[in-house]
Amino acid sequence: MTPEPGTDLLDIYLRYKDAVFTNIKYFVKDEAIANDILQDVFVAFWENRSHLTSEKNIAGWLFVVSHNKSLNYVKKKVRESVSIANFIQQEDSPADAAHEEAEHIKRLALVMSATRHLSHKKKEAFIRCKIEGEPLESVSQNMGISLVSLKDYLKQATRAIRQHVETLYGKEFLLALPVFKSIFFMD
- The domain segmentation of the chain, as residue ranges, is 9-77, 93-184
- How confident is the prediction along the chain (187 residues), in pLDDT tens digits per residue? 444 434 588 889 999 999 999 999 988 888 999 999 999 999 999 888 888 777 778 888 998 999 999 888 888 887 776 666 555 555 555 566 666 777 767 777 777 777 888 898 998 888 888 777 788 998 999 999 999 999 999 899 888 888 887 787 766 665 555 545 445 544 4
Question: Looking at residue 130, what is its pLDDT?
Answer: 79
CA distances 51 to 2, 17, 35, 71, 135, Å, are 8, 20, 25, 23, 42
pTM of the model as a whole: 0.44
Question: Looking at residue 2, what is its pLDDT?
Answer: 45
Question: Looking at residue 43, what is its pLDDT?
Answer: 92
Q: Which CATH number fits domain 93-184: 3.40.50.11390, 3.10.20.580, 1.10.10.10, 3.40.50.2300?
A: 1.10.10.10
Q: Count CB atoms within 10 A of the CB of residue 118.
A: 19
Question: Looking at residue 1, what is its pLDDT?
Answer: 40
Q: Where are the alpha helices (DSSP H) in the chain?
A: 9-27, 31-48, 55-91, 94-114, 120-126, 136-143, 147-169, 171-176, 178-184
CA distances 165 to 29, 44, 103, 111, Å, are 28, 49, 16, 8
Which amino acid does the sequence have at 49?
R
Q: Which CATH number fits domain 9-77: 1.10.1740.10, 1.10.150.110, 3.40.50.1220, 2.60.120.200?
A: 1.10.1740.10
Question: Looking at residue 87, what is its pLDDT?
Answer: 59
What span, in angstroms and rounded, lies between the C-alpha atoms of 101 and 110? 14
